[in-house]
Amino acid sequence: MDQERLWVARALRGDQKAFASLVEIYQTPVYNLCYRMLGNSTEAEDAAQETFLRVYTHLRSYNPERKLSSWVLAVASHYCVDRLRRRRLTWLSLDEEPELEPVSEAAHPEEQMLERESSSEIRGWLQVLPSDHRLVITLRYWQDMSYSEIAEVTGTTESAVKSRLHRARSVLAQQVLEQRELETLPGGAAFEGRKVLNHAAL
Amino acid sequence: MRRCEHTEGMSLHLDGLLDRVEAAKLQEHLAECEACRHAWEAMCYASALLEAQPRAIPAAGFVERVAAMIAEREAQRARVRSGIGVVLGSLGLWALTGLSVLAAIVLLAQPSWDVAVLDVGLPLLRALASTVETFGTAVVSVLSALSGRSPLPLLGYGVVALAAAALWTRMVLVRWSDGRIAE
């Protein structure tokens, strides 16, 4: 943390090497957030670069009493939400696969294939969520943030975070049940469960 | 439509935010309500799948790409700043010149003022000319005292002045060509 403050102070004096050290630390969380929000590796790379450029340009407005990670992720979140708003009718391919952190070195090819399948499934699910719901899911699962930290990054209250997480999870669970319905006979218990979630997601 | 108020509790339970009593109530409800049980299982499944997902990492060389982007942006800003400086300086000079000309015209166009301007301006011009003459005489006297009758000090002075001018020109050219290369 002290080292981070030192780098921030040096970056403020125009030391680009110090700023590069900050980029080194935050490149994965920022890129991952952008990738989960935008669902596309090309756009994620572009958004992550733009995030760091904004961080560099607005470093003077950073309040050192705040956690740097929260501030950097807030910049990335705002940029991604803005970009999603501007996207409108442009359809972007979801087929591009980014590099993923290996789960384990000894993973078998079958396991790797399953991993890729579930990764693609997750990306499909996330694209269905509204951007603010997608953001809380990303921060909760991939940044491992608490409700208060998510509230700080998104600029909302903890109760809003709680509500968004609940709705987002309901939508995701609905998709799981829909898929199960397709695999089994429709109209069973999964259908009843989906009705419960459908009400919760509204 | 089926209504059940326990789904928010499910989400909180997934994050370990329900106390023992609330968790027990939820479990009790899940044991009774099949629809909620399916909803809970689906939520757990989706959550487990999300937790198992690795973090996406950027392609190699990301830090270098960002550094290059920042360096380029900085160079661009420097160029814009110097461009604005030149434009502002030039505009300022032109504006001052214009203002001076305008002021002179206005002052001279006033019949009561031109007398006053001439009254004040002519003695000022005379004083300025006298100062320049005195300074010139002093420089010539110093140079003559140093050289006796030899033209060498005068020649040396000329060489030093030319060298200084050449150095300054070279500095300007080097800075200009550096700017072009950086582009």
Q: Do B56 and A162 touch (CB under 8 A)?
A: no
Q: Which of A41, A60, A88 is the last residue of a domain?
A: A88
Give the pair of three-digit tokens for residue A158.
Answer: 């903890």
Q: How many helices (H) and strands (E) does chain A have?
A: 9, 1
Chain A residue with minimal CA distance to B77?
Answer: A57
Work out the pLDDT band at A99, boundaries 50, 70, 90. low
In a shared domain, residues A5 and A39: yes
Average pLDDT, stretch B152-165?
Answer: 75
In a shared domain, residues A73 and A123: no
In a shared domain, residues A81 and A113: no
Higher pLDDT, A104 or B178: B178
Predicted ipTM of the assembly: 0.77
Residue A160 has pLDDT above 60, yes or no: yes
Give the pair of three-digit tokens for residue A8.
Answer: 């921030």
User: pLDDT exceeding 70 applies to what percent of chain B?
Assistant: 80
Residue A131 CA to residue A127 CA, distance in Å, equals 8
Residue B114 CA to residue B139 CA, distance in Å, equals 36
Average pLDDT, stretch A55-79?
Answer: 94
Higher pLDDT, B20 or B1: B20
The predicted-structure confidence for B77-127, as pLDDT tens digits, reads as follows 888 888 887 787 777 778 778 777 777 776 666 666 666 667 777 888 888
pLDDT of residue A103: 44
What separation in angstroms does the CA of A165 have from each of A142, B18, B100?
14, 15, 70
Q: Which residue has the tokens 């050192």?
A: A64
Q: Which of A29, A60, A88 is the last residue of a domain?
A: A88
Average pLDDT, stretch A92-120?
Answer: 57
pLDDT of residue A98: 57
CB < 8 Å to B67, chain A: 16, 19-20, 23
Residue B183 has pLDDT above 60, yes or no: no
pLDDT of residue A104: 46
pLDDT of residue A147: 96
Q: Which of A149, A131, A132 is nearest to A140 (CA)?
A: A149
Least confident interval from A15-29, B27-41, B63-77, B154-168: B154-168
Chain A residue with minimal CA distance to B30?
Answer: A193
* φ, ψ (nearest 5 deg) of residue A183: -75, -30
Q: Name the average pLDDT for chain B.
A: 81
Distance between A162 CA and the closest CA of chain B, angstroms: 8
Give the pair of three-digit tokens for residue B43.
Answer: 């939520």
pLDDT of residue B22: 92
Q: Which of B10, B33, B50, B48 is nearest to A200 (CA)?
A: B10
Higher pLDDT, A96 or A116: A116
Is A99 within a domain?
Answer: no
Residue B1 has pLDDT above 50, yes or no: no
Residue B42 has pLDDT above 70, yes or no: yes
CATH code of the domain covering residue A193: 1.10.10.10
CB < 8 Å to B45, chain A: 173, 176
pLDDT of residue B135: 82
In a shared domain, residues A73 and A160: no
Distance between B96 CA and the closest CA of chain A, angstroms: 36
In a shared domain, residues A64 and A147: no
Residue A145 has pLDDT above 90, yes or no: yes
B55 touches chain A (CB under 8 A): yes
Residue A167 CA to residue B141 CA, distance in Å, equals 95
In a shared domain, residues A24 and A57: yes
CB < 8 Å to A33, chain B: none
Average pLDDT, stretch A121-144?
Answer: 91
Q: Which of A171, A159, A161, A157 is nearest to A132 (CA)?
A: A161
Residues with Cβ within 8 Å of A53's Cβ and at least 6 positions away in sequence, in order, are B66, B69, B70, B73
Is A95 within a domain?
Answer: no
User: pLDDT exceeding 90 applies to what percent of chain B?
Assistant: 27
Q: Which of A35, A54, A88 is the last residue of a domain?
A: A88
B11 touches chain A (CB under 8 A): yes
Domain ranges of chain B: 7-52, 75-109
Q: b/e map of B149-165 (b: 16 or more CB within 10 Å)?
A: eeeeeeeeeeeeeeeee
CB < 8 Å to A181, chain B: none
Residue B146 has pLDDT above 80, yes or no: no
Q: Name the average pLDDT for chain A.
A: 83
B3 touches chain A (CB under 8 A): yes
Distance between A168 CA and the closest CA of chain B, angstroms: 10
Average pLDDT, stretch A147-162?
Answer: 95
Range of the domain at A190: 107-202
Work out the pLDDT band at B8, boundaries 50, 70, 90. confident
Give the pair of three-digit tokens for residue B22.
Answer: 């609330």
Domain count, chain A: 2
Contact A74, A153 (CB under 8 A): yes
Least confident interval from A16-25, A91-100, A140-149: A91-100
pLDDT of residue A106: 47
As beta bridge partners, residue B56 has A100
pLDDT of residue A72: 97
Average pLDDT, stretch A134-148?
Answer: 95
What separation in angstroms does the CA of A147 have from each of A1, A77, A151, A165, B69?
22, 16, 6, 9, 34
Residue A74 has pLDDT above 60, yes or no: yes
Cite the beta strand spans of chain B per DSSP E. 56-57
